[in-house]
Amino acid sequence: MYRSLATAIHDAEARGVTLSTVALEVEAKDQGRPVGEIRDALRRALVVMREAVDRGLVGDLKSSSGLVGGDAAKLRTGPDGPLSGTPFRDVLARALAVQEVNAAMGVIVAAPTAGGAGVLPAVLTGLASARGIDDERLIDALATAGLIGAVVADRASLSGAEGGCQAETGAAAGMAAGAAVEMLGGTPRQVGHATALAQQGTLGLVCDPLGGLVELPCVFRNATGAAIALAAIEMAMAGIEFAIPADEVIDTMGEIGASMDVRYRETAGGGLAATPTGRRLAKERLYDLKRAGG
C-alpha cells in the first residue's frame, strides 16, 4: 500500500484515473487477490455500516453504563433546529447512531477504529442518500478511505493510546472527507486537500474517555468529526486548497501524538475524564458493575 498520499495522487493523475482505482489495484497486488474480491469485501463492510446506522437510529439502545443511547434518534425525530431537514443533520445522526451501537456492544466496522467508527459511514451513506449515489461509487469511496487510513497508520498512528483522539476521530474525519470528495466527483488533488483540511482541524485532539470506556466523549466526538469532514468536503469541492500537503499534516499529527502527555492518550487520567463530574460518573459506574457482579 502507498506510504504517501502525494505519491498516490501523482500516480492517479498521471494515468487519468481515480484514487480508488490505484488503491484497489495496489491492495489486490499486496493481497494476491483480484480487484473484484477486494470490492466484495468492501461491499460486505458497507452492509455492516448501513445496518449499524439503521440499528442506532431506532433509539432503544443503551450502553452498559447507561450514559450513552437514544441521542441519534433525537436528531432524527426531535424538535426542529436550524439544520433540520438537511444532509448535515442527517450525517450527525448517523455518526451518533453507529457509536451508540458500538457502545451497546453491537456490530460495527472499525473505520479506522471502534472509537472513530461513526464518522466514515455517516458521511458516506448520508451524502450518498442525499445525492442518490449508487453503491458502486460508495465502494470506490471506501477504497479511497482505506488508502488514506493506511497512509495515516504508516506515517503516524490510528491509536488513541498512541496519539490521542486526533489519531482516531481525526483520522476518520480525514478518511471521510477525502473519500466523499471522490464520491462527489472531485479530483485526486481535491481528495488530498480535503484530507488535509479535515485533519488539520483535529490536530491536538485528546483521548479522554470517562472511566476508560469508549462512550463519553467518544460518541459525540464522532458527530463533531463528521461535521469537520463535511466542512473540509465543502471547502475542497469549492476549489479551496490547504497550503500544507496532507502527508505533512499527517506527519504533524504523529509528532503531536508522540509528545502528548500520557494523561491525554486514552488513560482516563486527564481531560474530561479528570473533571469532577467525569470522576464521579466513572466511580458510579464501577460501583454499579461490582454490585451487579460485573
Residues in Cβ contact with 256 at an 8 Å cutoff, skipping those fewer than 6 apart:
163, 164, 166, 203, 204
Q: What is the pLDDT along the chain (294 residues), one digit of tens a residue?
A: 899 999 999 999 999 999 999 999 999 999 999 999 999 999 999 999 999 999 999 999 999 888 999 999 999 998 999 999 999 999 999 999 999 999 999 999 999 999 999 999 999 999 999 999 999 999 999 999 999 999 999 999 999 999 999 999 999 999 999 999 999 999 999 999 999 999 999 999 999 999 888 999 999 999 999 999 999 999 999 999 999 999 999 999 999 999 999 999 999 999 999 999 999 999 887 666 556 655
| Its pTM surpasses 0.95 | yes
Distances (CA, A) of 268 to 110, 159, 197, 222, 277: 21, 15, 28, 18, 13
Domain boundaries, the chain: 5-291
Which fold, 5-291?
Answer: 2-methylcitrate dehydratase PrpD (1.10.4100)
Distances (CA, A) of 152 to 112, 120, 159, 163: 10, 15, 10, 11
